[in-house]
């Protein structure tokens, strides 16, 4: 005898989707769909100072990637002297972490998150992720969870993955529910 297909109401389907994909449906703060991370952008006014600061930031990132951390940090500071931008603070924090200067990195991330406005969602998301990783390294799981939740609400898949990793009980429950529903099919 063929198995009957279950017909679920849209509400029931939404409940199941929220169990299987937590943080992917809607943001409770805005009741709007959470964007994909690829859709996040930073919108800034286009001034000569901003363009000059961006050019210096790009140079500093390239130096960081080459392992020239001290020189990169000097160029990041020059960029910040031209224009105080959340993106520069976030990227400098990454270089500071590579230089094993975690406390200074944390200070930059705090400033980046404070400075990033609603038009700079990409930087805000990345700064929350980076600060969450740093807090996790420092064994401050509550602070890490808070940052990963903020980044997940902005659209970060990495942050959602970290939340599951921090809470293995949730991952186990989701796995058991998936298996139970797969057996019903």
The domain that holds 146 is classified in CATH as 1.25.40.10
In a domain, 23, yes or no: no
User: What is the tens place of the pLDDT at every residue in 82-130?
Assistant: 999 999 999 999 999 999 999 999 999 999 999 998 888 889 999 999 9
Q: In 66-85, where does DSSP find H-type helix?
A: 69-82
- Tell me the backbone φ, ψ of residue 92, rounded to 5 degrees: -65, -35
In a domain, 33, yes or no: no
**Residue 176 domain boundaries:** 87-184
Mean pLDDT of the chain: 81
In a domain, 160, yes or no: yes
Quick one: average pLDDT of 168-176? 66
Residue 2 is encoded by which pair of tokens? 């063929």
pLDDT(4) > 80: no
Entry pTM: 0.71
In a domain, 40, yes or no: no
Q: How many domains does the chain have?
A: 1
In a domain, 65, yes or no: no
In a domain, 56, yes or no: no
In a domain, 142, yes or no: yes
Rg (C-alpha) for the chain, rounded Å, is: 21
In a domain, 53, yes or no: no
Quick one: average pLDDT of 68-72? 97
Residue 20's pLDDT is: 52
């Amino acid at each position: 005898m063929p198995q009957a297909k279950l017909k679920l109401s849209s509400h029931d389907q939404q409940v199941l989707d929220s169990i299987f994909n937590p943080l992917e449906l809607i943001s409770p703060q805005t009741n709007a769909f959470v964007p994909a991370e690829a859709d996040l952008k930073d919108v800034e006014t286009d001034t000569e100072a901003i363009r000059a600061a961006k050019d210096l930031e790009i140079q500093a990132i390239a130096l960081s990637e080459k392992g020239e951390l001290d020189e990169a940090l000097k160029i990041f500071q020059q960029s910040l002297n031209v224009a105080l931008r959340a993106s520069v603070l976030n990227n400098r924090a990454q270089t500071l972490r590579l230089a094993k200067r975690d406390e200074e990195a944390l200070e930059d991330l705090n400033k980046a998150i404070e400075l990033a406005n609603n038009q700079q969602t990409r930087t805000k998301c990345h700064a929350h992720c980076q600060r969450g990783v740093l807090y996790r390294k420092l064994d401050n799981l509550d602070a890490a969870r808070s940052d990963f939740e903020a980044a997940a609400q902005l659209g970060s898949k990495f942050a959602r993955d970290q939340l599951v990793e921090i809470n293995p009980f949730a991952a186990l429950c989701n796995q058991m529910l998936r298996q139970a529903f797969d057996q019903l099919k």
